Amino acid sequence: MRIDGIDQISASRKHLVFAYYVTGHGFGHATRVVDVARHLILAGHDVHLVTGAPDFVFTSEIQSPRLFIRKVLLDCGAVQADALTVDRLASLKKYSETAVLPRASILATEVEWLNNIKADLVISDVVPVACRAAADAGIRSVCVTNFSWDFIYAEYVMAAGNNHRSIVWQIAEDYSNCEFLIRLPGYCPMPAFRDVIDVPLVVRRLHKSRKEIRKELGIEDDVKLVILNFGGQPAGWKLKEEYLPSGWLCLVCGASDSQDLPPNFIKLAKDAYTPDIIAASDCMLGKIGYGTVSEALAYKLPFVFVRRDYFNEEPFLRNMLEFYQGGVEMIRRDLLTGHWKPYLERAISLKPCYEGGINGGEVAAHILQETAVGKNYASEKVPLVINVFSGARRLRDAIVLGYQLQRVPGRDISIPEWYISAENEFGLSNGSSPTSQMSESNSMENLCTEDFEILHGDVHGLSDTKNFLKSLTELDAVSDSEKNTEKRQIRERRAAAGLFNWEEEIFVTRAPGRLDVMGGIADYSGSLVLQMPIREACHVAVQRNHPSKHRLWKHALARQNTKGQGPTPVLQIVSYGSELSNRAPTFDMDLSDFLEGGKPISYQEAQKYFAQDPSQKWAAYIAGTILVLMTELGVRFEDSISMLVSSAVPEGKGVSSSASVEVASMSAIAAAHGLSISPRDIALLCQKVENHIVGAPCGVMDQMTSACGEANKLLAMVCQPAEVLGLVEIPSHIRFWGIDSGIRHSVGGADYGSVRIGAFMGRKMIKSLASDKSKSVPSSNGTNSDDLEDYSVELLEAEASLDYLCNLSPHRYEALYAKMLPESITGEEFLEKYADHSDPVTVIDPKRTYAVTAASRHPIYENFRVKAFKALLTSESSDDQLTALGELLYQCHYSYSACALGSDGTDRLVQLVQEIHHSKLSRSEDGTLYGAKITGGGSGGTICVIGRDCLRSSHQIIEIQQRYKAATGYSPYIIDGSSLGAGQFGYLKIRSRHSSPKSSK
């Protein structure tokens, strides 16, 4: 339901009492509450605000005896590590301290208070426990917001571990007590609410005109004025006069009393009424939040913004701002180093075009008044008890999908119309089926010869490669087109259009993701692994140019000019898909940043370099390949480099999206610079990127499969460290699928790392036990042959120098070591006894407890299972063969769970496979699906399913997809099909046929 306008709120209704709860998450909530509360008070009602915000935020706008302010903080919002970054774990811990541990006393206190003030309606923006307290007090409640904390915290849980998951469930259950949601523009998905009413922007009114404000400040009307609306400036940040273009002035909000400002910066009073200041300015520089975006749109003020890390509502507000041509993104590095000029000058050239309503406060107040006197806006089709169920428990998995849930093409939860339109306009969805891709392929058969001259390589008939080349052609056309100014143009396409010099050669590479059929996390313990390169792949286009001919982005040029230097080699990257995540679409750096004293910087320094701005941390996977080539092979890069990265490999699904990006990037860099590197060496170098520059402790099987794999074959590799045994043909009657649980997987996550550490601890303990046993083995005199077999000195000595845990057989493990290993051990205890766990890519936390037995047992048995699986694949086709293969997958899945690397979503999917596997129909027809397991690093991601290669199996996979969606609200992505690896693809060297030919050399 949407309500855009109303008649003026009636003051004839009976006198009402509203209890209005305000979250402690920034001033944006408080400022919009002001406008709603003001209209309720104008209608003659009492408003009791429950808030932690300063009084002046409310009293500067409302001076009325009907306004009551009660200083209580019932939710802490997000805890910031600094002015631009949320500390996700600290946020969850703080919320637990604020709202979870004292929950019983909070509810008792709030119920008593609500009854004492005789509240007619509870309003929440957007405090979860307020909804539950209202229900306990027998009072109706309504939420007014653009996001909810279940959505925000769900992504934090993905990063912080499952131990905080109950927080998200509790929040969702609290919200489900709310009668309906009044939803503000720029909203996030909020699955916990069943009934929704959309209203216009809620914006504080102006008190004074632009001319009046400028006169009070003593600023002439023709002076360019920027308001720095930061709400907490970065620590140690000192503003400098040269940050502003000549003749500009900057009004600083929230400056400390002790802060000294240059003469072109003016400190505003702490209680300054910012809407008036905003309307009197020419542009605003700050962080995106509801308050800043809504007021920038309402008063048509261009907004130069800097991304904040893990503010998960930001992408939705950002897209709304840019849709109405009101936003310019500033790179954090340029903010902190003072390269403001190109951004400010770009901002004042914008013509913001928001023409929507700004009377959301009045509209919301009217709805709240009508609700308080008995009107029912909520759906009457479902009883409230069912609403509680549908708002939380039905969505237990879907809510915990959180941030990633809304980044998947084909999602069915409502998001703003402008977001969908932008995707459709440029055909960005990766959710098209292989069938539709093939039909598109036929219509593009002549594309390569018509639009590009292929100087080297072959497209291998790959439809996705043809699509990528077609997208390059469209960029060539767009670069000189007036369409560049269309307001719906996605930023990454606009940036990419100016990336290449179309008269020069471009190198294109392709690297697929992989489906972990068997082996998974046992790779770092030296296991045999079986991996299938999937149909989805990453394409990278690279061009190198002399610095004097390189097309620089405006801010990069300004940076070089400020340094007073001539053209220097620069790396510029555009990454497609940023609109589906909260990452920046572009990255650039001077390649000299990788050098110190003429030598490459250390990997540790590089890791810090990329970590300083998490919205651009993704660039470590791509730019990191350059540093590894410099460090390991002594390559020096004297030309500028432009890179376009377009990946169809789903992110965070456990199918090696990161490895495909690394392999495609390094392959393209190598091709463009004439470097001859074998696919195996490419994989090993890319592992260094992930381990040492990204900082993720992964094995090498991902990169090796992406580089060395072949279509319809499993890459068999012993990870000691990377011995490829060969390729195993997938029998024609067998098929593998991947089904995405939707729960984000991160190989850099704490759970994966702790299990890896546990396995290395176990190896160290086993080596120590074997060494002790070998020294105490009795001589053969007087001992029986059984004892000699068990305690063979030769075996014990080999185990005392065990290089890889997987070289220990299951029977030896059970006979000698299983009962000797501790279930778990603290890092401090282990370090005291063993000094080190001998893993170069992980660090033991002395304060943390690590599981040892399960983490050690898994790779030992997994290696055995993979060997058995490989042997079975080549055996005679039979139902018994498939049953045995499926059983090995099931065993692997439950071994993951024993290591605490399972998840609700992947367990549910495996259970659905089992239900179909054991159904009467499957048994009567020799079965179709036979087994399933979680893949990769675990803790969510994708499951691998094995079955017969037949139409009925495909139908059953779709049935699982539909049943999972019905249970969780999330429609899984299906991975089906295989493709060649980067080594077999090679590279394309292309040149646009529409450019001027180069002179022959």
User: What residues are paired with 713 via a beta bridge?
Assistant: 729
Question: Phi and psi for 682 in degrees, rounded to 5?
Answer: -55, -45
Amino acid letter, residue 407: R
What are 292-350's pLDDT values in tens digits? Answer: 999 999 999 999 998 887 777 888 898 899 889 999 888 888 888 888 998 999 999 99
Q: For residue 624, what are the contacts with CB-CB under 8 A and spacing of at least 6?
A: 606, 610, 662, 689, 693, 694
* Annotation: CATH topology of 493-721: Ribosomal Protein S5; domain 2 (3.30.230)
Q: pLDDT below 70 — which residues of the chain? A: 1-13, 158-163, 231-236, 379-449, 476-491, 578-583, 744-750, 778-791, 921-926, 994-1001
Q: Domain 210-353: give its CATH architecture.
A: 3-Layer(aba) Sandwich (3.40)
Amino acid identity of residue 784, one-letter, is N
Torsion of CA 175, 178, 182, 188, to 10 degrees: 10
Count CB atoms within 10 A of the CB of residue 924: 8
Q: What is the largest CA-CA distance in the chain?
A: 106
The conformation of residue 202, written as its DSSP 8-state character, comes to: B
Quick one: tokens of 366? Answer: 């009217």
How far apart, in whole angstroms, are the C-alpha atoms of residue 265 and residue 914? 67
Catalytic residue numbers, as ranges? 702
Closest CA to 700 of 686, 714, 710, 715: 686
553 vs 560: CA distance, rounded Å: 11
With beta carbons less than 8 A apart as the criterion, state whether 249 and 266 touch: yes
Beta pairing, strands 723-729 & 713-718 = antiparallel
The per-residue pLDDT for range 552-593, each reduced to its tens digit, is 887 787 777 777 777 899 999 999 876 555 567 889 999 999
Whole-angstrom distance, CA of residue 513 vs CA of residue 537: 6
Q: Is 210-353 in the same CATH topology as 17-203+366-378+390-406?
A: yes
Asked if 658 and 683 touch (Cβ cutoff 8 Å), the reply is no
CA proximity to 627, closest of 597, 655, 604, 659: 604
Q: Residue 120 is encoded by which pair of tokens?
A: 């007619």
Tokens 């509203």 locate to 18
**Phi, psi of 995, rounded to the nearest 5 degrees:** -95, 170
Return d(Cα 722, Cα 724) in angstroms, integer. Answer: 6
Structure tokens at 788: 């000699």
Alpha-carbon distance values, 125 to 181, 182, 183, 603 (Å): 10, 10, 11, 45
User: For residue 874, what are its two tokens?
Assistant: 């080549």
Calpha distance 7→602 (Å, rounded):
66
Of 270, 242, 344, the residue nearest 302 (C-alpha): 344
565 backbone dihedrals φ, ψ, rounded to 5°: -115, 160
Rounded distance between C-alpha atoms, residue 527 and residue 692, angstroms: 22
Q: Say how many C-beta atoms besides its own lie within 10 A of residue 990's C-beta.
A: 22
- Whole-model pTM: value is 0.75
CB distance 170 to 192 below 8 Å: no
Find tokens 């000189």 and name the residue: 480
Residue 36 to residues 6, 20, 28, 66, 824, Cα–Cα distance (Å): 14, 10, 13, 14, 54
CA-nearest of 518, 515, 514 to 884 is 518
Distances in Å between the alpha carbon of 377 and those of 14, 110, 494? Answer: 19, 25, 43
> At residue 65, what is the residue type?
P
C-alpha to C-alpha distances, 40 to 25, 36, 77, 131, 364, nearest whole angstrom:
23, 7, 26, 20, 9
Written as one string, the DSSP assignment of 801-860 is T-S-GGGS-HHHIIIIITTTS-SEEEHHHHHHHHS----TT----TTSEEE-HHHHHHHH
Q: Phi first, then psi: give them for residue 588, nearest 5 degrees.
A: -145, 155
Separation between Cα atoms, residue 790 and residue 25, nearest integer Å: 64
Rg, C-alpha atoms of the chain = 30
Tokens 């100014």 sit at which residue? 485
* Gap between the Cα atoms of 567 and 560, Å rounded: 7
CA angle 505, 508, 512 (to 5 degrees): 175
Which residues are CB-contacts of 101 (< 8 A; sequence separation ≥ 6)? none
Classify residue 613 by its DSSP letter.
S
3-class DSSP state of 262: coil
pLDDT, residue 396, reads 47
Smallest Cα–Cα separation from 751: which of 521, 515, 519?
A: 521
Kind and range of the H or E run holding 625: helix 619-633
8 Å CB contact between 518 and 869: yes
Q: Kindly give the residue spans of alpha helices, DSSP state H, lying in 452-553.
A: 463-479, 491-497
- Nearest C-alpha neighbor of 261 from the set 272, 270, 252: 252
Contact yes or no for 715/530 (Cβ under 8 A): yes
Cα–Cα distance measured from residue 710 to residue 534, given in angstroms and rounded to the nearest whole number: 9
Angle between helices 619-633 and 657-672 (to 10 degrees): 50
**Cα–Cα–Cα angle for 271, 302, 552, rounded to 5 degrees:** 125
Element (H, E) at 70: strand 67-71
- Nearest-angstrom CA–CA distance, 152 and 160: 13
Closest CA to 590 of 571, 605, 606, 609: 571
Contact between 387 and 194 (Cβ < 8 Å): yes
What CA–CA distance (Å, rounded) separates 708 from 985? 10
Give the domain ranges of the chain: 17-203+366-378+390-406, 210-353, 493-721, 750-773+798-977
CATH 3.30.70 for domain 17-203+366-378+390-406, yes or no, is no
Q: Residue 822 corresponds to which tokens in the numbers above?
A: 């501790």
Cα dihedral sign, 630-631-632-633: positive
| Superfamily for the 750-773+798-977 domain | GHMP kinase, C-terminal domain (3.30.70.890)
- Residue 917, classed as helix, strand or coil, is helix
Sign of CA dihedral 243, 249, 255, 258: positive
Query: Do the beta carbons of residue 664 and residue 538 sit within 8 Å?
Result: yes
Asked whether the beta carbons of 145 and 181 are under 8 A apart, the reply is: yes
CA distance 161 to 64: 47
